[in-house]
Structure 1
Amino acid sequence: MAQNQMTKTAEQSSADVQAELSKLKSDISSLSASLSDLAAKQTESLNSMARAKVEAVRRTGEETLTEAQKMAANAYKNAESSVKENPATGVAIAAGVGFLVGLFAGRR
């Protein structure tokens, strides 16, 4: 009778262990699915933030380019009017720049 009792207890313990393992597998599967969902949401969030940052940098670059183009156009107009007002100075500056370019090019 004690043997029979021990066999039933062992079978019940084995069934309990099997049930616990099955529950553990289910919990791990659920946890894995939750982690996958979280990773997908985080990836989507990070991609959205990166796109927003790229767009902001692009807009800033375009604004800077436009401003630089305006400044270059103004500098060209100022230089042109300065040369028209003082042609001798313009020729002297051009000669000086040519001399410096020749000096640096000759040292290579």
Structure 2
Amino acid sequence: MATAAPKSNGTGKSSNEVEAVSKSTDVDELKAQIEILKKDLSALTGTMKGMGKTRAEALKTAASDQATEWKLQGEAAVDHARARGQLAYSQAEQSIRENPAMAVGIAAGVGFLTGLLLRRK
């Protein structure tokens, strides 16, 4: 078997030596690019984390504002219902004072109907 003698490229180095230097340079460049990518990925991760925190804070604030608004609306509805209940109570009380016989008759009728309904069971 014959082996090929290393060829010279005119620089005094064989083509295998030139290839080895070229591959070494390519590997070094690739390593440098990988390091740059790692740094870029780290920066991107930090940016996305910051954006996530900002968005979470905005959503938390919006939810808190909405809850406060609903609380105020609920309190207003309770106050309105309380006022209407008090008005109805005072109107009923006034009606009973003006017509006590009718009030007793209505109460007796309601009691009689309740008795009929409960007796059927």
Highest CA radius of gyration, 1 or 2? 2
Structure 1 stretches of at least 4 aligned residues deviating more than 6 Å after TM superposition: none
Q: TM-score, normalised by structure 1?
A: 0.90
What letter matches 2:54 in structure 1?
Answer: K
| Root-mean-square deviation over aligned CA pairs | 1.6
- Provide the residue aligned with 1:18 in structure 2: 31
Q: How far did 1:66 drift?
A: 0.8
What letter matches 2:86 in structure 1?
Answer: A
Query: How much identity, in percent, do the aligned residues show?
Result: 31
**Given the alignment, which residue of 30, 41, 45 partners 2:43?**
30
- Provide the residue aligned with 1:64 in structure 2: 77
Structure 1 gap segments, 5+ residues each = none
- Provide the residue aligned with 2:111 in structure 1: 98
More helix by share: 1
Matched, 1:3 2:32: no
Matched pairs, number: 108
Residues 1:30 and 1:102: Cα distance change in structure 2 (over 3 Å): farther
- For residues 20-72 of structure 1, the C-alpha deviation after alignment (integer angstroms, 9 at most, x for no partner) is 11111111101100010000000000000000000000111111111111100
Q: TM-score, normalised by structure 2?
A: 0.81
What letter matches 1:63 in structure 2?
Answer: A
Query: Could you tell me how far apart the structure 2 residues matched to 1:101 and 1:27 are?
Result: 80
